[in-house]
Structure 1
């Protein structure tokens, strides 16, 4: 049986992950998209500590009893997909600054008799990943494929497992599905980006965004720590807003949106919003 004490302990552990609290460490400047309205802020604090937000509906549009856990996974309205897509679009927007031929949802080449060691390898025609980009890990023409996953750490299947083990499990699952095919057929590299809905990220995602911050800081002639802090803050707000949308959004219809990086210099954003310098 899961008690309120266990939920609070779990929530504090998740809130302690690097990047999970960035939305609390900056000034809430609306011009940089670092602000939340009153209800959203109250919901964010409640989610942070595992409390039930106030004035939630009794039943979901799908007919099921409405709970925080159910809201994160209910497909009605497409909110879990929107949560995934916002991280995808943000990452793709950042990659266009430093990479060539950035593509969203690229299709993989069809399999024509190739054999893979792992039976779990994806061999479906029409398979596609979230992003592809040239020149990220290697040379200008070396392509990298990226796939994003955001999971709910409070789901029953995850409650008794450490966050690090969940991250590793999802990373391995993605690699077993796609890595061999991308390496042997596409002649490219593969990077899974695994996030917790509470704001944390897996090891490979951490290394990916460190590399991205390094490339961006060189291009923009900006401080690496400031760029890394800004990226973490953008990811934190993206995941947080998506979680709140799952709670408060109308599930009667689906919607879509893109992501804009804005035009302010990163050093100005760092100074005005008091982004903390990230020590690596």
Structure 2
């Protein structure tokens, strides 16, 4: 972790060397999700609700998944841009260093300008919570934190799986965006508005439903007697990262360099 934070400090200093560019990019990232949120607002302005979900309930769902995505995009950007390390042969240098390849790839790139997107999500989160009649308890607060952190692990795991494919394909595959950008857009709404096969896939295969939909039912008081299962649902995100790490190690052991 000491090495990881050194990576963070070095890359942060390099990015703020051009301060005007840094702040303009950060402000741009702040306003980009507003167009999506505006679409959400006008949708409910027209139809009132979607399958008994109100605007502020969906806004809470929106804020949680966008916060998780922004944090993951900031700190796991090294896996998202991993193909450049393979193409240029730079990954060979990482292999001869006496440190974990996961830490080194994570530390190879950070996007601190994504904090603008994170700030926007926090504002939406506060706005939604201020307008929802939630009876807060310590367990509900912990569940909300687990939802966000679990979402970070899921997005990071998907980035890691996409990066692993680069060991065989060299270039990154755009199909991974179906599960990162597409997963973010899908999970900003409650899963029960989709067809059953979609909700099942994004609950039992890529567990976005365990991050957003199921624990959200508990926080909003829409569960039955077995509410403990909804509280534990976000743990699926932490479990999801484990097979992703195993697949990554499998790919590293079979890496044969690019000859660059």
What is the TM-score when the length of structure 2 is the normalising length? 0.27
**Structure that is richer in helix per residue:** 2
**Structure that is richer in strand per residue:** 1
